[in-house]
Amino acid sequence: MVSAPRERVKPRRTLTSETTGALVAAQGSTGSEAATPSAGSPAHRAQSAVCLLAFLLWGCAGNCITNTPDEFVFEIHSRAVRVSEDEIAMLLPEPLRATPGEPVPPVRVSLRRNGELTVSRVLTSETTGIGIDVESMTEELAWARGIGGAQGIVITKSEGPARRAGIRLGDILLRADGLPIPNAGAWRAFLDQTEPGKRLTIELYRDRPVEVEVETVRTYELSEPREFSRDLRTFDDSRRTGLELIELPRDYQPLILGRTLETDALLVARLWPGTPAFFSDLRLGDVIVEIEGEPSGGVDGYRALTGSIERGDSFTAGYLLDDGIGQTEVDVGEDVLGERGANFLRLLNWHTRASRSRVGLLSGLLFHARRCYRIDHLVEHNAATDWGILFDLVRYTGRPNGKTLTLLWLLPLSFEGRSTSDRVPPLVERSRAIAWQSD
């Protein structure tokens, strides 16, 4: 399934104050949760009986939940990928371009699993100032301060040149170079006509008239956040390989990767547990640049290079590493997400799908076994195995962090497992680093 690209510009959409550059993974909700039965109630006793029966038949099912996020977003900071304004200026619409000669504001880039690419930045505009914030005088404040009429502006912040000149919080600015300043708008208009570096004579009122001299400086004011969005093409190959991909066009690679590749690339946006892609070396967030030794060429190239591969065969995928290109084999199936099962008079029953499988003899009383696959922390591919014999008199539980063999329900023998050290794709690692270093 391929989605067509489209562009849109949202010039004035307010951003939230979430941490910049975070890598977010949110589990989707499947509906409203039912109320929990109170302890001792008939519903609670019935629920306990069902859980006990399930334990006898299949063992504890809590550890076999597949941890696959339904939505996530990569957020990249332009300074983290060392993108210059020259590299991205032509990619951005006019409202997001920085003015030459001004400080280059950082660009925030987010890319969602549905292919939505959002570029946002807070632009700056050059102005003249003395380091104060002001608000217009009110009649009530003028009366309380003993000033005739609501004239002048109230100093609400003083820093930099103003503070060094002796301007204090709460002072009332009446005149600048002899010109009356009746309100905040007049003060802004006065500064717009004043060059940086000019010395001004400021007349204030504190508890008495005060006159100070202050030098104007060049300052930069922040504008409202602006956004530009584009929906990148996506391709759903989950039925054959377990992959969902986003096309990364060369024009937008500097924003996401920090460099331009020789071809359009493909981002692994989703990877289903238990599918062929799960057992390959690919990870969520990997960037595929080669298929069978040829440039991947985006969605069209991927379809052309893998479309003729039949069930049971495989293809070689090349993915970006920090120091080169990695290679891995990805098998191709017909319907790897499909479910299958059978029940022969409860003497033998089995059920299987990509993320989990189970089998039982005599409703699981004589023998039951289950295996499930999950993705932890977005990049750790783990498997869990459980089996039991004759009412779980002999029970085995295997997890990435260890294995346990229990005899006669009461004699557990534990074995320490290996520590998980899965490779983290560069894009994911960069997103994590940004999250950790943000204010």
Q: Let me know if residue 85 belongs to a domain.
A: no
Strand, helix or coil for residue 235: strand
Q: Let me know if residue 377 belongs to a domain.
A: yes
Q: Let me know if residue 34 belongs to a domain.
A: no
pLDDT tens-digit profile, the chain (439 residues): 544 444 443 333 332 223 223 333 333 333 333 344 444 555 545 555 544 444 444 443 334 444 444 455 566 554 444 455 555 555 566 555 655 555 556 667 788 888 888 877 766 667 888 989 898 888 777 777 777 666 789 998 898 899 999 999 889 999 999 999 988 889 989 998 898 899 999 999 888 889 999 999 887 665 666 777 889 999 999 999 999 999 999 888 877 887 889 899 999 988 899 999 999 999 988 999 999 999 999 999 999 999 999 899 999 999 999 888 999 999 999 889 888 888 887 788 888 888 888 888 887 888 889 888 888 777 788 888 888 898 888 888 887 777 888 888 777 777 765 555 567 787 777 665 554 433 2
Domain boundary among 189, 222, 255: 222
What's residue 31's pLDDT? Answer: 35
Give the structural domain span for 385.
339-416
What's residue 320's pLDDT? Answer: 92
Element (DSSP H or E) covering residue 139: helix 139-145
What's residue 70's pLDDT? Answer: 45
Q: Which candidate, 392, 352, 402, 342, places its Cα nearest to that of 373?
A: 352
Spatial distance between the Cα atoms of 117 and 230, rounded to a whole number of angstroms: 5
Q: Which candidate, 387, 413, 392, 390, places its Cα nearest to that of 402?
A: 413
Q: Let me know if residue 82 belongs to a domain.
A: no
**In CATH, what number is assigned to the domain containing residue 188?**
2.30.42.10
Q: Let me know if residue 280 belongs to a domain.
A: no
Q: Report the 10 Å Cβ neighbour count for 66.
A: 15
What's residue 240's pLDDT? Answer: 94
What's residue 260's pLDDT? Answer: 85
Spatial distance between the Cα atoms of 394 and 368, rounded to a whole number of angstroms: 11
Spatial distance between the Cα atoms of 39 and 31, rounded to a whole number of angstroms: 24
| Overall number of domains in the chain | 2
Domain boundary among 222, 257, 283: 222
> What is the identity of the amino acid at 255?
L
**Do 331 and 346 contact (CB within 8 A), yes or no?**
no
Spatial distance between the Cα atoms of 74 and 22, rounded to a whole number of angstroms: 7
Tokens of 45: 């006793």
Q: Let me know if residue 58 belongs to a domain.
A: no
Q: Let me know if residue 159 belongs to a domain.
A: yes
Q: Let me know if residue 401 belongs to a domain.
A: yes
